[in-house]
Every structure is written in structure tokens, then in C-alpha cells.
Homo-oligomer: A and B are copies of this chain.
């Protein structure tokens, strides 16, 4: 089995989707999850929020608020910054968008994020792709060290920058 075969992947949603992954299907599922996330929380996924979310979820990259404005502007709707920020706030509250703190940018949650399992963010500095991966051991270790110091943790930000598997492979060729 060579590296160039089109053998089906084991996972429908690998942490780092390759450049050629079927993003149409991926996006469709992500939108569905967003809809239920709003529904189950009793929140409204309005047209504005849906349009903003669709832009963010159009890729697996983090996107600045003003990027979103420009992209939606190119499609005919010039939004004020505050409108986009409010949409982002609602999407974040619903848990379908996260903020990449180290980049002042926003990315869609493409994973099922079942229940409350916590994820860390892996961000490839070459292809800019972002993946969230479950990492309970990391959060367990954080709780341990926090409790050693009598610290009561509230929000936990873990953002790792580096090279994703695809870019590591390319770099070694």
C-alpha cells in the first residue's frame, strides 16, 4: 500500500483533514450540529448568525472578524463590525465557534464534541489548519497541578502551534 493510494481513511473526520477532504459533506454535518446546538440550548440560529457561521465553517482555519466582514461583503452584504462580533458572541455561546486566543481569530467546531469532553487546539503554522483533539490526560494534569496550588480552575486554554502530519510529511520530502 503506497502513500499515493486513495484507500479510504479510517475516520470520517480525522483531526487534520487532508487538503482534499470532502468539505461539502463536512460542512453540511457541521451546520447540522450547529442547528441542534442552538436548538437544545433554546437559542436562535438567526439568518445573520447562520451566514457568519457558514463563513467561519467554510474552512478548517481560524478567521479574523474582519475577514468575515470582507467575505460576506463580497457576497453582497456589507456588515458592520459590531454585527459580526455579536454573531460570533452568539455562536461562541452556543459552543459551535471557538476563539483562537493566540491569534485573535475564530474557528468553527467541526467535531462532535460529545458531552463535556475537553479538547486542546492544534494549529498548523504551515497550512493554518486547526484541529481540536480530545486530551483528557492534559486536563487531568492541569487539575492536578492547579489543586496542588489551591487554584480553582474555571476556563482552560490549551493552544499548540506546530506542524500537522500532512505538513511534516511534505517538509521531509
Contact = CB atoms under 8 A, between A and B. Distances in A.
Interface of A: 15-16, 101-102, 104, 120, 122, 124-125, 131, 133-135, 137-138, 140-142, 144-146, 148-165, 168
B157 A152 contact: no
Main secondary structure of the interface of A (DSSP, over half): mixed
Contact of A152 (B133, B145, B162): B162
A160 B138 contact: no
A163 B153 CA distance: 7
B159 A153 contact: no
A113 to B, nearest CB: 16
A122 B16 CA distance: 29
Contacts of A133: 145, 148-149
A160 B137 contact: no
B131 A145 contact: no
Contact of A157 (B160, B163, B164, B168): B160
A152 to B, nearest CB: 4
